[in-house]
Amino acid sequence: MWKYFIRPLFFLFDPELVHNFLIKWTKLFGGTGLPDMRFTSPLIEKKVFGINFPNPVGLAAGFDKNAEIVTSIRRLGGFGFTEIGTVTPRPQSGNPKKRIFRLTKDDALINRLGFNNDGVDAVVNRLKNKNFKYYNTSLPIGANIGKNKSTPNSKAHEDYLECFKKLRSYVDYFAVNVSSPNTPELRNLQSTSFLKKILKTLILENNKGKKKPILVKVSPDLSNSQLSDIVSLLLQLNIDGIISSNTTIARENLKSDNLKNEIGGLSGKPLSKRSTEMVRLIKKQAGDKLPIIAVGGIMSPKDVVEKINAGASLVQIYTGWIYYGPTLVYDINRKLLKECLNN
């Protein structure tokens, strides 16, 4: 149904237009009338960095940037958690449109949105008014936080701190995004000196009250030695986890010749190999001390098994959901359950 009917229809329109339509529709109807995709079993529930996840499959950052559909995403998508954001202190409109491209021959997207979001105050207001016990289940929510485009890197830690302080009471974990390719210089914040400054600032604040897990989201374009330096730093600072990975600026072996040179971050199938390789490297270096959320190119249940075997505790999906539709997460969880029962 998705592949042969709904997807071709949606793919007739601009990707951002379809996205905005789906967010509005979900906000209005909450997925009413559609099958309930929730999936859980004690066998696939997971406790990671102190949080109970009804299943290990999350919606990746960027889909629900402004926390508009957090209460319906579990029923509608079957997800075990969701990550809102990237949220910045002040609202910003992002880069000029058109800024999302479908590379259909590659099961991929390129986006150069540039942290378009309503700003942290609007997001907090929205979260305050949510009924998290919707459908009698609670869904863990992560907040992916970033800096405004106009904030220089030397002051970036202040932006992350502001988002952290304001969102703290309303979310379950934080993802420090220093890896989006669409905000100039942002990825330089992955250098040990900048990252240390940001993380120490957040840890200091975190120690003042009930602690929230802090994770760092990294870029697939890091060299292996840069990744290793980051992992060492995260272990040294006792950071709760790592999200691997964001989108890539690499353009290898793509079939969509007409679009592959669009500027922005590439996501989807072509990202899968590097993302899994990074999970393997992180696991080898950190063992069980640094839980990993694997994201990048998950298009099928088999891809999730691969990421988990490489060392991931949880996974997230964005592009695969666009290409393979709302039943993907249900199928993944069914496969995970089957694997558990067979072992």
Ligand X SMILES: Cc1cc2nc3c(=O)[nH]c(=O)nc-3n(C[C@H](O)[C@H](O)[C@H](O)COP(=O)(O)O)c2cc1C
**Quick one: which of 44, 113, 145, 254 contacts ligand X (CB under 6 A)?**
113
Nearest approach, Cβ of residue 194 and ligand X (Å) = 17
CB 85 within 8 Å of CB 144: yes
336 binds ligand X, rule: CB under 6 A? no
Residue 262 CA to residue 301 CA, distance in Å, equals: 29
**Quick one: which of 227, 298, 310, 314 contacts ligand X (CB under 6 A)?**
298
88 binds ligand X, rule: CB under 6 A? no
Task: List residues bridging with 47 in a β-sheet.
Answer: 52
Q: Which residues are catalytic?
A: 180
First-residue to last-residue Cα distance in the chain: 33
Residue whose C-alpha is closest to residue 20's, from 74, 70, 68, 56: 68
Q: What is the DSSP letter of 251?
A: -
Residue whose C-alpha is closest to residue 111's, from 59, 176, 182: 182
Residue 252 CA to residue 270 CA, distance in Å, equals: 8
111 binds ligand X, rule: CB under 6 A? yes
219 binds ligand X, rule: CB under 6 A? no
Nearest approach, Cβ of residue 228 and ligand X (Å) = 20
How would you label 237-264 residue by residue, b for 16+ Cβ within 10 Å and e otherwise? bebbbbbbbbbbeebeebebeebbebeb
Nearest approach, Cβ of residue 204 and ligand X (Å) = 23
The nearer residue to ligand X, 71 or 245, going by C-beta atoms, is: 245
61 binds ligand X, rule: CB under 6 A? yes
Tokens of 44: 């696939």
248 binds ligand X, rule: CB under 6 A? no
Can you tell me whether residue 42 is helix, strand or coil? Answer: coil
Residue showing the smallest CB distance to ligand X in the complex? 62
Residue whose C-alpha is closest to residue 267's, from 55, 76, 101, 47: 101
CB 288 within 8 Å of CB 49: no
Nearest approach, Cβ of residue 56 and ligand X (Å) = 14
Nearest approach, Cβ of residue 59 and ligand X (Å) = 9
Task: Please list every residue from 127 through 156 that binds ligand X, using CB under 6 A.
Answer: 144
**Quick one: which of 88, 206, 219, 319 contacts ligand X (CB under 6 A)?**
319
Tokens of 322: 């666009």
**Quick one: which of 54, 62, 140, 241 contacts ligand X (CB under 6 A)?**
62
217 binds ligand X, rule: CB under 6 A? yes
Stretch that binds ligand X, among 50-58, 90-98, 304-312, 313-321 (CB under 6 A): 313-321
Give the DSSP H or E segment for 108.
Answer: strand 108-111
The nearer residue to ligand X, 120 or 209, going by C-beta atoms, is: 120
Residue ranges in contact with ligand X by CB under 6 A? 60-62, 65, 85-86, 100, 109, 111, 113, 144, 177, 180, 217, 246-247, 267-268, 271, 295-298, 317-320
